[in-house]
Amino acid sequence: MTDAEPDKETLRALADEGNQTALDRLADLADTENNVDELSELLDEGSEHAGHLLTLRAVKDKDLRELQRLSDAGSEEAGAELERLLTNDAKS
């Protein structure tokens, strides 16, 4: 068995065939490359992992609008983080 990393093209082909792990790996690559547009596209394709990575970025940046967008796109985590940040801001 070899430890060769699959290339992005192979991961894309597998993801297009419905392989969730390949979709998650593409999200990890996009995150590493700091490619937010690609992460957003992967979220649109149904990658919960991409949504998680985008949520982490939005929380770090305290980007409430992005969290709302992610929540509207179906990310429960983003919705919860948005509520948490809004509640914490109200208590300050």
User: pLDDT for 15-43, tens place per residue?
Assistant: 999 999 999 999 999 999 999 999 999 99
* pTM of this structure: 0.88
**Domain residues of the chain, as ranges?**
8-91
d(C-alpha 3, C-alpha 73), whole Å:
36
Q: The dihedral of CA 22, 75, 73, 84: what is its sign?
A: negative
Q: Give the angle 86-51-82 at the CA atoms, nearest 5°.
A: 5
- Confidence band (pLDDT; 50, 70, 90) for 5? confident
Q: What are the tens digits of pLDDT across the range 28-84?
A: 999 999 999 999 999 999 899 999 999 999 999 999 999 999 999 989 999 999 999
Contact status, residue 70 vs residue 58, Cβ threshold 8 Å: yes
Question: What was the pLDDT predicted at 1?
Answer: 43
